[in-house]
Structure 1
């Protein structure tokens, strides 16, 4: 593949995380419910993403609704009643979100030159969420952990994404906000970027844009 100057591109594909990179969540509604229920802020997320609760959802073994039930069960005893626990679980699942326009713009520019694959630890609802943000056409492929039965930082999900892009891991740029996932990509030989803001992505893509 060639870059903007006609030479070989610095990488043959971009593999990009979704949550906290492309998509940003608004935690305020859930936090307000936690305060009203007398639960410490962040407790719902801590229970939701604990391995025993979150992994089945991220592997596609349970539906998002079944995940809410698991979260509510984990909150049992911390809330005054089961209704409040269900409300907190539902609020986490339904947290408002929006796409980062700066990130989306950079990725659309990159995709003109090389394939773009989204690689996300997500539930079975990811594809519908992308559609709701108008991003169903953003990438060439979406590798959703709940669809493929693999979660980052398992290197197999990264190898799968590289294969779908038609290249090898060593020729991929990988962007993710989680250090463990970045480390796994680096171990495979990918050019890995720990994302903290749009500037990180812009800097990583600059060689591609020439």
Structure 2
């Protein structure tokens, strides 16, 4: 690990996985929904509702059980067979890693510890292997393993401990505002992620950018640093 640039507002990066690094292709699911006469996004709305999704993310049910729960919410509208087809299409949606975000994070890791902190299933290790990212981070904090999910403050504290730095010296990156708000309440610097440029500016010299650019994207407790 090379020396960290001076003036940096953080000593570790805690980064979300989905919609920052990993992105799903929902086009096949959308085609099935259109064929079934459903609005696009119907299956996702059911599958990601907290009462359906949270047991999976806390490691309490299997992906197959999650599919059954989704199908149960669709059966009256499309019938049993098609409901299961839609649930399975969501569970098996193909995914890819964003190469630009991965490259930025790999560069940052040469300066500071990188920890992935993600609401994920017990399949996370296999998914990271498929993405070729088993070596991306110094540690991975998964909700299904820890049995606690963002935005619960406990998962942020676990991630900071794995990074080996105080919570107030962590930069937290996520695409969901409620997760950002929880991290900021603990004193973390935060980045609400929308595109790789958000990450590039926030990482600043750790990503090879000018130090002055970092303040554009990093917030601490809701204020510019």
TM-score for the superposition, normalised by structure 1: 0.95
Gaps of 5+ in 2: 212-225
- Over aligned residue pairs, what C-alpha RMSD do you find? 1.3
SS in 2 for 1:77: helix
1:15 aligns with 2:48: no
SS in 2 for 1:142: strand
The count of residues paired between Structure 1 and Structure 2 equals 207
2:67 aligned partner: 68
1:44 aligned partner: 43
Gaps of 5+ in 1: none
Do 2:173 and 2:180's aligned partners in 1 also have CA atoms closer than 8 Å?
yes
Cα distance in 2 for partners of 1:9, 1:115 equals: 13
1:166 aligns with 2:167: no
SS in 2 for 1:174: strand
Do 1:2 and 1:8's aligned partners in 2 also have CA atoms closer than 8 Å?
no
Cα distance in 2 for partners of 1:12, 1:145 equals: 23
Cα distance in 1 for partners of 2:146, 2:69 equals: 22
Query: 1:44-123 to 2 correspondence within 5 Å?
Result: 44-79=43-78, 81-123=79-121
Do 2:175 and 2:194's aligned partners in 1 also have CA atoms closer than 8 Å?
yes
1:133 aligned partner: 131
TM-score for the superposition, normalised by structure 2: 0.89
Query: 1:142-181 to 2 correspondence within 5 Å?
Result: 142-181=140-179
Q: Give the number of the structure with larger relative contact order, counting CA–CA contacts within 8 Å between residues 6 or more apart.
A: 1
Q: CA deviation at 1:51?
A: 1.4
Q: CA deviation at 1:52?
A: 1.2
Do 1:162 and 1:168's aligned partners in 2 also have CA atoms closer than 8 Å?
yes
SS in 1 for 2:110: helix
Q: CA deviation at 1:2?
A: 4.2
